[in-house]
Amino acid sequence: MGRSPCCDKNGLKKGPWTPEEDQKLVDYIRKNGYGNWRTLPKNAGLERCGKSCRLRWTNYLRPDIKRGRFSLEEEEAIIQLHSVLGNKWSTIAARLPGRTDNEIKNYWNTHIRKRLLRMGIDPVTHNPRLDLLDLSSMLTPSLYNSSQMNISRLLGVQTLLNPELLRLATSLFPSSQHRENQNFLQQNVQENNVNSTHDQVTNGQFMSPLMQPDQVQEFQNCAPIFSNDAQLMEPQLSNQLHNWQCNEMSNNDYVDLQNYRYYGSDQSFNIDHLTSENSDFQSNGSNNMISMTNVSTPISSPRHINSTGTITEDEREGYSFSSMMKFEFPNNLDISCFL
């Protein structure tokens, strides 16, 4: 496989672009359009390699590029999309008009990723870092009753289960009388890890264990999520995920994890995507809820806007976090003593 020659091998210029170079590139593309990046610099009178020209155009000079700070909606969309697509920056950028893959990648690495880590969330899996948060220590075996939460109903749905969810479940229900359930779960954790690793390796990319390859493809092929700047992606993604479900569900028992709600009933197990509406931190009358916010961050209030109308980093932290992470426990599982 050949590779395009590197700039410095041809004595071409590298480093920051000058305004004159920008102007030359813009003028040329306005007049002739862009197509053959290899011949473009020569035709445009630039001492740059085609690669550098393409990068400069797509990341900076393109007229439809939106400048300025990412909005909360955009930030949420990035987090949601990243939880499904992983580091597919170009695919994520395609859903955010005016934003480049490079810009989103930089924003993720310099802002969002750090924030997630501060909050105890693994930025790769979007799961809570259970090594930092030992939930099992918060719950005692006496809380568990097999009639309340029958883990065996998870039978037959292992391919949809997130291994982290299974680990969480095993840590939540440590009673020795349910060792059988644990064995089942641990076995499934191992199997899911194998499957998950296999998927990631064979595809050479991160893929949510919840999604089959054709589902990822379907998701990637869907239209841009914004018809204007204010719109969010949830309806499309949520609808798609709904379509992948097939059974009526009873949502008496569920755990919210990694932006998805895992429902269990005696007949079925289902997954629902959490939108910003249903994942806002709140008190739910029919269910006991424990918010990760209570555990690992001091911020538990909804979105705050300061007097200038902008949102501070800390405020973003609290708001975004509430939309990305929440645990809920069934009504009949009393956790009030932990709150």
Decide if 76 contacts 64 (C-beta within 8 A): no
| Shortest Cβ 318–DNA spacing (Å) | 17
Instruction: For residue 6, state whether it binds DNA (rule: CB under 7 A).
Output: yes
Of 26, 62, 73, 87, the one binding DNA (CB under 7 A) is 87
* Contact with DNA (CB under 7 A) among 26, 47, 59, 129: 59
Binding flag, residue 105, DNA (CB under 7 A)? yes
Name the H helices within the chain: 19-32, 40-44, 50-56, 72-85, 89-94, 101-107, 113-118, 163-172, 179-203, 213-221, 234-244, 292-296, 313-324
Q: What are the φ/ψ torsions at residue 131 (nearest 5 degrees)?
A: -70, -25
Terminal Cα distance for the chain, rounded: 60
State the binding string over 142-161 for DNA (x if CB under 7 A, else -): --------------------
Q: Which is nearer to DNA, 102 or 294 (CB)?
A: 102
Whether 230 and 73 have beta carbons less than 8 Å apart is answered as: yes
User: Binding pattern to DNA, positions 107-136, x when CB under 7 A?
Assistant: x-xxx--x----------------------
Q: Taking CB under 7 A as the rule, does residue 88 contact DNA?
A: yes
3-state DSSP: the chain helix, strand, coil percent, rounded to 5? 50, 5, 45
What's phi and psi for 29, nearest 5 deg? Answer: -70, -35
State yes or no: residue 66 binds DNA (CB under 7 A).
no
Q: What Rg, from alpha-carbon coordinates, does the chain have?
A: 24
The contact pattern for DNA, residues 12-51, with x = CB under 7 A and - = no contact, is: -xxxxx-----------------xxxx-----------xx
Q: Which residues bind DNA (CB under 7 A)?
A: 1-4, 6-8, 13-17, 35-38, 50-52, 54-56, 59-60, 87-91, 101-103, 105-107, 109-111, 114, 204-205
